[in-house]
Amino acid sequence: MSDTQTIAALQTGNRFAFEAVFHAFHPKVYGYILHKTHSSYMAEEVVQLSFIKLWRYRESLDPATPLSAQVFRVAKTTLIDQLRKEAVRARLINGAPATETAVERLEEKELAERIQQVVRDMPSVRQRVFAMSRFKGMSYKEIADDLSISVRTVENHIAQALKQLRHNIPFL
């Protein structure tokens, strides 16, 4: 069954379609959440809540968007909600101010992974120039000397790298 057919079946309340989606995605979503949290308890909790939300909001699924993307989006937002609740619970128990450090760490880690992926997709020279500038802290002149290119070429590579990052990660 295609994603469009599966989504249409879910939207009409077809429990067999939901069961098929659950069995197809449960191990993947569990693995994703376990990787992010390193907690089997949290992974089990988030996965169950995610599929409950998927069923509850099935009518709002978008047939034009891949089902896997929608399932993982629900799981990710559910995870963030759970981490926020845990932070509030910890504050109430410990009497300390609630911090969202777990959520912030998760978001920072995902952003860093996304940036690394975009950098890996850059042409090799642009990738090297960007890494030397941003990760090693080298000046444009040092990069130009090291790679035997002009400072203007370094500037162009940095400009293109930043443009590529902003295009692939719009909120940067």
Q: What global pTM score does this model have? A: 0.56
pLDDT of residue 109: 78
The domain 3-94 is placed in CATH, from the list 1.10.1740.10, 3.40.50.720, 2.60.40.1080, 3.30.70.920, at: 1.10.1740.10
**Model confidence at 95, in pLDDT bands (50, 70, 90)?**
low
CATH of 102-168, one of 3.30.390.50, 3.20.20.150, 1.10.260.40, 1.10.10.10: 1.10.10.10
Local confidence band at 166 (pLDDT 50, 70, 90 cut-offs): confident
Within the chain, which residue ranges are assigned CATH 1.10.1740.10? 3-94
CA distances from 106 to 55, 82, 101, 103 (A): 26, 12, 8, 5
| Residue 96 pLDDT exceeds 80 | no
